[in-house]
Amino acid sequence: MRVLVTGAAGFIGFHVARALLARGDAVTGFDVVNDYYDVGLKEARLAELDRAAAATGADWAFLRADLAAAEAVAAAFAGRGPFERVIHLAAQAGVRYSLEDPVAYVRSNLLGFTHLLEACRRAETPHLTYASTSSVYGANAAMPFAEAQGVDHPLQFYAATKRANELMAHAYSHLWRLPTTGLRFFTVYGPWGRPDMAPMLFAAAILAGRPILLNNAGRHSRDFTYVDDVVEGVIRASDRIAAPDPDWDPRAPDPATSDAPFRLYNIGNNAPVELGDFVAALETALGRRALIENRPLQPGDALDTFADSSRLARAVNWRPATPVAEGVRRFADWYLAYHGATARAS
């Protein structure tokens, strides 16, 4: 298939693009490659994609452009389309940064997504799959989080923009019959991860002998989900085109389905782990002890996350299954290899 992957220089987008190339799809990557975090890491991911395409002879092209520029999005669809699938993984990410610069989230997550929806509508794209987040569950404390629950109490602006994406997608699915599937990711980790996320921050601190700043004394839990599992879920969900739910009842509406071609799914490991236990697994994998500096839970942080991924399992006959100990070991092996002798000697 011809597939557009936005955010191809990002963590999940890179892994999804590489998996699509490996199965023989013609892939167009689209990314602005901004400096929100280390541009060198993003360029290294793109170099890996170039190598993967060259090794297999896959059809791969990368467009360095901004989704907030409507003409750039239109040019991608005109030049490399028609796309049989669009997988939208570009976003201004990060809970903390949304407290500092909310306008960046409006530009990327709202304006950029609007341009993509419009392009998909005009091109009559068969299926748009896009990233949402477990953060949309916000102040909800009913565990595990399920798609049928309400998500009207976000704890930070990032989550509010991703919830807005879900609502925007439904509007386009209803008005234009554009099939859309939103995927709520739960704490994705693994090789090539973002430097602003806990695994990278913790690994760097442990190897440098610096204290880890552990919020809430590590007593809050996260449903850590290994990136390869997320990639499998993304591709399987993308392959399964969203369709109207014949059992949808407007008098008792299920928020995750519709009489429009619209779906929402959780992608989580279904096995929450306390942050302190995640640090212990990382200590084992790196062979070094961590120095811990405890601090309070930070603004915008959810106390716990726990995914009910049963809907996804029923839809695509698969569910995430990588244990945290195994995923952390793979991450640590990559981290040491990527950073080389400098990391080992720190």
pLDDT in tens, 255-267: 999 999 999 999 9
Residue 19's pLDDT is what? 98
Contact predicate 181/265, CB 8 Å: yes
- The CATH number given to whatever domain includes residue 236 is 3.40.50.720
Per-residue pLDDT tens digits for 98-139? 888 999 999 999 999 999 999 999 999 999 999 999 999 999
Residue 288 in domain = no
Residue 340 in domain = no
Per-residue pLDDT tens digits for 271-330? 999 999 999 999 999 999 999 998 887 776 777 899 999 999 999 999 999 999 999 999
Q: Report how far apart, in Å, the C-alpha atoms of 7 and of each of 14, 91, 261, 344 are.
A: 7, 7, 24, 31
Residue 335 in domain = no
Residue 46 in domain = yes
Contact predicate 246/164, CB 8 Å: no
Which of the pair, 217 or 141, is modelled with greater confidence? 141
Active site residues: 158
Range of the structural domain that residue 236 is part of: 2-186+226-269+307-321
Residue 216 in domain = no
Contact predicate 107/34, CB 8 Å: no
Residue 78 in domain = yes
Residue 210 in domain = no
245-252 CB contacts, 8 Å cutoff, 24+ apart = none
Tell me how many degrees the CA angle 66-72-76 measures, rounded to the nearest 5. 110
Residue 216's pLDDT is what? 78
Cα gap 261→313, rounded to integer Å? 19
71 φ, ψ to 5°? -65, -30
Number of domains comprising the chain:
1
Residue 344 in domain = no
pLDDT > 90 fraction of the chain, expressed in percent and rounded: 88
Q: Is the pTM of this model over 0.75?
A: yes
